[in-house]
Amino acid sequence: MILVLVAVVSYLWGALTVHKQVFPFPQLLLLKYEYFNSSSPRQTTFQTNGRRPDVVMIGDSLTALAPWNEMFPKAQIANEGVGGDTTNKILARLDSISGSPKKALIMVGINDFYRGTSADSAFQNYREIVKRLQQAGVTIIIQSTLECSKNVCGYRVYQVRDLNKQLEEFAKQNKIAFVDINADLSSPNDGLSSEYTYDGIHLRTSGYMKWSEKIRPYITAD
């Protein structure tokens, strides 16, 4: 009888975890990412089967945890998000980015600030990432670095905003598409809205849906 009760409670809690995204849903997502990390076949699929992806998504865990192919089933998308990545780390692994993509959507930066990197230094690395991808014939779409919740990350939200100002101006000067993904996810006073995040940095499904709608025209366009 006790075993039956435990099984029922476990089932109900599991259902609630997924539906409401309460504990341990975030932890399970992170564990899933850690298992499917940069050594996973998901990042070498296009390299090994000779297919050229339409789009490569480059970034940190925010990118890695997103179900891009489920949200854009008609596009061939390579998810090159790696948890904990910084602009510097992306530069170091850029040569291994999947299969000569047609387009690259980049979103990175928050981990730079948690490691003490200034917005100016992160921007310089970002410019080099863009330069090297363009030299490889890849069309670039710069996405604004996602803001964090001010009550969680404090002053870092201002560093993110500083970086985004530089990125937007850089994109304008170089005729590169810039997508402000913070417009629908953040507020001036609070940063990333609690409606869209479970920990002040990472996104709930609702946040990814907002993000995906902002970039849909760039992914679906020829």
Helix runs in 21-118, H state only: 25-35, 45-49, 61-64, 68-71, 87-93, 110-114
Pairing of strands 186-187, 177-179: unpaired
Distance CA 211, CA 81 (A): 15
Distance CA 70, CA 72 (A): 6
Q: Is 97 left (phi over 0), alpha (psi -120 to 50) or beta?
A: beta
Same domain? For 25 and 47 the reply is no
Q: Which residues constitute the domain of residue 41?
A: 37-220
Structural element, H or E, at residue 106: strand 103-107
Same domain? For 9 and 96 the reply is no
Q: pLDDT tens digit string along 61-78?
A: 999 999 999 999 999 999
Same domain? For 56 and 101 the reply is yes
Q: pLDDT tens digit string along 95-153?
A: 888 667 899 999 999 999 999 999 999 999 999 999 999 999 999 999 999 999 999 99
Residue 115 dihedral angles phi and psi, to the nearest 5°: -105, 10
Q: How far is CA 77 from the centre of its chain?
A: 13
CB 26 within 8 A of CB 209: no
Same domain? For 18 and 89 the reply is no
Which residue reads 């996602």 in tokens? 146
CATH number at residue 43: 3.40.50.1110
Q: What is the per-residue DSSP string for 47-66?
A: HHH-PPPSEEEEESHHHHTS
Number of domains making up the chain: 2
Q: How far is CA 62 from the centre of its chain?
A: 3
Q: pLDDT tens digit string along 159-192?
A: 999 999 999 999 999 999 999 999 999 999 999 9
Same domain? For 108 and 181 the reply is yes
